[in-house]
Amino acid sequence: MNPLLDFASLPRFSEVLPEHVNPAIEQLIADARTAVSVVEKAESITWQTVVEPLQDATERLGRAWGAVAHLNAVISSPALRDAHNTALPKVTQFFTELGLNRALFERYKALSEDAASLSDEQRALLAHELKDFRLSGIELEGQARERFAAIQEELAETQSKFEDNVLDATNAWTHDVPVADLAGVPADVVATAQAKAKEAGLADGVARLTLQGPCYLPVMQYAESAALRELMYRAYATRASDEGEVRFDNGAAIAKIMALRAEEAKLLGFQNYAEVSLVPKMANSPQQVLDFIRDIARRARPFAERDLAELRAFAAAELGIANLASPDVAFASEKLRQQRFAFSDEEVRQYFPEDRVLAGLFRVVESIYSVRIVEGKASAWHPDVRFFEVLDGSGSRIGEFYFDLYARDSKRGGAWADSARDRRVRNGQLQTPVAYMTCNFPAPVGDKPALFTHDDVITLFHEFGHGLHLLLTEVGTLGISGFGHVEWDAVELPSQFMENYCWEWDVLSHMTQHVETCEPLPRALFDKMLAAKNFQAGLGTLRQMEFALFDMRLHADNIGADRAALLKLLGEVRAEVAVMQPPAYNRMPWSFGHIFGGGYAAGYYSYKWAEVLSADAYSRFEEEGVLSPVAGNAFRKEVLGRGGSRDAMTNFVAFRGRSPTVDALLRHNGMVSPQ
């Protein structure tokens, strides 16, 4: 009884073992190939004879493989990684074959021409699928066709290797120090580091530091020791690079990924991979994206220069740091923020215990979308995972989701949301969606609950926005429900939209409770947080634009991806955009998982473009009431509910009544010059 082959209900995550992976995947691929063969031979070309049988088979494979990939990301082990990496080429090969199947392409094309027999959703899916076929090399012949298929397999394997190297390099690094050397670091961070040292058999009074976020970030922000900050910064900035441990060096992986992408673009008839990447996005050309990035950078630069000048002056006068360097920035910024606004992240964190935060998050969602969220039980991959149901007004289930919120050694860094099962209506039967949302927050220590920084709260709201996109879809057609086939530069709209609620008093006042005194967040402290909201917004924006410009130029200019070429490009980008130059040893690209391991290649700009959309969308709530169910239900209907059934700009205009403008974003970020 292989749990990966059970699709009757929720995934049986707790029962999945590495030895289940390949037998299940091989069987599901074989089943899918049989379904493809039946569709190829179908005499009549209808939705029921072509699309539905193929969707039935590929959905089962997608759900099982999604579970495997998810488990490999959240409870990685050598055995599970081996099983995943053995199955990966098989899955990639199957979907590559599917994209190159001329008989299926012709059937989809013929079906799309019979518009009268199709619903709006069906027409939308077929349009997306035909575009995907063309991007999959369907029109290639002979050797070009074979080479394209090989490229897809090599890319999948190399991108997975890139991610493995970053995770392994992060986990391999530790540094043991006397507790006395951690002056300034929050007590719970020190306690966690001491517990790690004890697990390693070290003496009392010793702490073990790691590069995982819950340790690295507070050390950089609070540690009084400049030498320790430099040590940690260098280790983090050189992960998986030629400046770190050679066995994790991603240099070869990056070079191979970029060469394969350039070759793929050429085979498809594009000038560069950026043009390939933009086909399913809102932007029309790499130049349009570059213009957008440079325009935002130009608007932000005066504010960033002011931010940096203030920080340097403060560091020199108050901290004795005459020459502010990259390892000092987080520390000096936190000290300046404390002086200017008289509070610290650590002080605020005491007011955000996990259960109160979740209750506050759910209150927002329930208020604006007229739903109810209740905790339930389900098979999970780790004891820390929590499970919830989303119900409508009558108590019927809309969807379900998992929260996996704490960092651990076996878990990939960062935060993300994804689908375990998509919404679908088949023969009148509704399949409800299931999502999971993953973060890397500090776990509870001792008898204290998990405490979140305000940045953690923002991250949680962000990922839940993605989750709502999956859960509140009203589309019943696989492939365009949830965020299926939503333009990639619009996928971040629902997530960044949710971040706005983290700055509303009527929201935060209901989701805080001091861990010791049980008092809610004082209004005076909230006002300080609000005053500090746009602290160094200029610097933060330029940092985003630095990443976005590097990504787009890398893929649009066909840059050679050896070490020298990467560093040259990085230097050019920083000279154009950054107001502060990192040290020469900084190897940011070597761990830039978004573009070398994830799906943001030639698409990192999407975060900022989606901020434009989300800020403008939220401005309607500011006009009508931030918890307005009228505005909420309109957003649910026109944006969240639509999935890929129509284009994102049409969704936005239907909700907002006009095209988006950058004004709300600049206002929210405090980057509006006084008149």
State the Cα–Cα distance between residues 351 and 521, nearest whole angstrom: 6
Phi and psi of 425, rounded to 5°? -115, 120
Closest CA to 465 of 364, 594, 357, 593: 364
State the Cα–Cα distance between residues 361 and 366, nearest whole angstrom: 9
Q: Residue 440 belongs to what H/E stretch?
A: strand 434-441
Residue bearing tokens 């976020």? 213
Cβ–Cβ under 8 Å, residues 586 and 237:
yes
Strand-pair partners of 431:
424
Closest CA to 156 of 277, 257, 254: 257
Instruction: Report the relative pairing of strands 434-441 and 429-431 from DSSP bridges.
Output: unpaired
Cβ–Cβ under 8 Å, residues 172 and 247:
no
Q: Which of 264, 463, 499, 611 is catalytic?
A: 463
Active-site annotation holds for 230 = no
Closest CA to 557 of 578, 542, 573: 573
Q: Is 552 helix (H, G, I), strand (E, B) or coil?
A: helix
Q: Is 371 helix (H, G, I), strand (E, B) or coil?
A: coil
What are the Cα distances from residue 459, in Å, to 605, 608, 641? 19, 16, 22
- Assigned token pair, 167: 């995770």
Cβ–Cβ under 8 Å, residues 280 and 301:
no
Q: What is the 3-state secondary structure (H, E, C) of 519-540?
A: CCCCHHHHHHHHHCCCCCHHHH
State the Cα–Cα distance between residues 542 and 578, nearest whole angstrom: 6
Alpha carbon 675 to its chain's center:
37
Q: Residue 241 belongs to what H/E stretch?
A: none
Residue bearing tokens 């409870």? 75
Residue bearing tokens 């209740």? 374
Length of the chain (residues)? 675
Spell out the residues 6+ positions from residue 343 whose beta carbon is closer than 8 angstroms to its own. Answer: 337, 525, 528, 529, 532
Instruction: Report the relative pairing of strands 386-391 and 429-431 from DSSP bridges.
Output: unpaired
Q: Burial-class residue 282 by CB neighbours within 10 Å (0-12, 13-18, 19+).
A: buried
Q: Just list the catalytic residues.
A: 463
